[in-house]
Amino acid sequence: VSNSMDWDRENKQMVFKIRAHGEREVLPVVYQGFVPDSFVNQSEIIAEGSMNGKNFVAQNLLVRCPNNYLAEKAVGGLFKTLRIEGSLYQ
């Protein structure tokens, strides 16, 4: 949610709000730990953790940077072209 990030340097705690695509309801998130440089306003993230009252307490933050990802079809085609076995999506 835009402009909802509040970083407490002393306690190394970030409080922000998230909203699922197409939803109106917001969820407050509390995270304590390393905040990736790529975490900015309106980032697409995955927060791993659990509910504590009305807040979601995140143990991990994963930030998705859409410009750095190849589509799965493109990667699969690249594997086939280069004759590489395996998958990046497991």
pLDDT digits (tens, 9 = 90+) for 3-29: 888 888 888 898 999 887 788 888 999
H or E segment and range at residue 85: none
* pLDDT given for residue 88 in this prediction: 41
Please report, as a single letter, which amino acid is at residue 9: R
Question: For strand 44-52 and strand 6-8, is the pairing parallel, antiparallel, or unpaired?
Answer: unpaired
* pLDDT given for residue 61 in this prediction: 85
Please report, as a single letter, which amino acid is at residue 73: K
3-class SS of residue 75? helix
Residue among 26, 58, 59 at smallest CA distance from 42: 26
* pLDDT given for residue 53 in this prediction: 92
- Give CA–CA dist 10/34, Å, rounded: 13
Q: Which domains does the chain have, with CATH numbers?
A: 6-82 (2.40.50.140)
* pLDDT given for residue 25 in this prediction: 87
How do residues 41-86 score in pLDDT, each as one tens digit?
667 888 889 999 999 999 988 887 655 554 544 545 544 554 444 4
* pLDDT given for residue 86 in this prediction: 44
Residue among 21, 23, 29 at smallest CA distance from 47: 29
